[in-house]
Amino acid sequence: MLSPSGVSMRFGHVSMRFWASLKRARRPTDSVYHGRRMLPLKLRILKRVDRYLGRWLCLHQPPRAADLRAAHGDGRPAWQPRPVPPDDIRQILLIRPGGIGDAVLTFPMLAALRTHFPAAAMDVLGERRNTGVYRINSLVRDVHRYDQSPHLVWSTLRRLAAKRYDIVIDSEQFHYLSSVVANHLAPRYLCGFDTLGRGRFQTHRVPYNEKGYEVYSFLGLAGALLGRTLPFEPDRPFLDVDARWLQWADETLAPYRDRPLAVIVPSASSEHRFWEPQRYADVARWLTDHGFVVAILGGSDALHASRIISQGHPSSECLNLVTKTSLGQTAGLVQRARLYVSADTGVLHIAYGVGTPTVHMFGSGIQDKWAPLGRKYVVINKGLPCSPCTRYGYTPPCPYGVACMDAITASDVIAGIEEVLKR
């Protein structure tokens, strides 16, 4: 049974005999798991460069933010956050490495900046896997990437430096290079998380809470620039979807208008988020038996699972769109859905952002940091003693066959669906 709050499901005490059986269990990295996907080579190289060269540059590069060098008459240190007057801010750059979910959760921060700095254009510097998020709507003017070939990276940095941004927000938490780049751009104000000694570059230093919900962390960056704590309403959608993506979704769903839509995203970009495709198939069968049409979405890591889920379903019941939609089209479909089901994956945060009720599974990830808040969102979490095991963005190899996910049954997810549909 789900807990009364519908927020988590617990195992309680796990015996030594049970742990021994887990060690013998087949891991999802065996033939069952066909979705193993490593980071692209360019990102792996960047991570290594960050660890060595980035750290050295962060320690030795002189701070270049103009406001750090300015004299202030209020008696406070130059780095201490002070509200930024909105009148003379014309350009803002957000640096956002990471995946889809991190990018989605920056939108409440961006909306607050848009309200406070109405005359400012906002750009983003990100990477291939997350920049599509910022094309879901028109809040951001331009999107740039750093995970390109070296000559394109240098031309991008030169182009950004020529813009002379008034504010650069470094939203990275645990790496150095983003801070080095932000400092190199020499903005007037540089705002970021004061981690790993990077605060020496920042005019607005913000402490980072590793356990708190990530939206609040990003809002803290905007709050430092605005000089106040910014509110967040967990049950209020915060991600607008452009009309063209909604129109595309309506045209795609036209043959299914007489049935409610449920979206399943069986993505498993790592073994730590893998859930058996057959269990997704059992959930899909329950949904179609109860009048839903099921749309399967995701990237190449979901191809194997999508074939198992859609097997035996007529096209009138199941729509397999894995690898066939952009993030904008995905957002349009998810907003039109009555229900969303997945593990802890990027599209989950899109579903939360657009206000679609979700049932989602957590194991290795930190639930308090990444699970959607609010009444319409049910998380299935067995609460094993070994989970969550992710720390500072890194998840170690699992010696227990990813038991935190394996312990979640299709019946658990169906019970979550029944609960969320009552709300």
Q: What percent of the chain has pLDDT over 70?
A: 86
Give residue-wise pLDDT tens across range 263-286.
999 987 778 889 999 999 999 999
3-class secondary-structure state, position 294: strand
Go through 42-78 and write b for each residue having 16 or more CB atoms within 10 A of its CB, e for each that does not: bbeebeeebeeebbebbeeeebebebbeeeeeeeeee
Per-residue confidence (pLDDT) for residue 140, from 0 to 100:
97
Homologous superfamily, domain 16-31+239-422: Glycogen Phosphorylase B; (3.40.50.2000)
Q: How does residue 80 score in pLDDT terms, banded at 50, 70 and 90?
A: low
CA 389/CA 391 separation, integer angstroms: 6
Intervals of CATH 3.40.50.2000 along the chain? 16-31+239-422, 41-226
Q: How confident is the model at residue 321 (pLDDT cuts 50, 70, 90)?
A: very high
CA distance to 46, 128, 146, 160, 261, per residue, from 42 (Å): 6, 11, 10, 21, 38
The DSSP symbol for 391 reads: B
pLDDT at site 268: 79
**pLDDT at residue 72 tops 50:** yes
* pLDDT tens sequence across 110-143: 999 999 999 999 999 999 999 999 999 999 999 9
Q: How confident is the model at residue 14 (pLDDT cuts 50, 70, 90)?
A: very low
Nearest in space to 387 (alpha carbons), one of 301, 273, 300, 242: 273
**pLDDT tens digits for range 209-235:** 988 999 999 999 999 999 999 999 999
Q: Between 133 and 76, name the one with better pLDDT.
A: 133
The CATH number of the domain covering residues in 41-226: 3.40.50.2000
Convert the pLDDT of each residue in 16-47 to its tens digit. 333 333 433 333 333 344 444 445 666 677 77
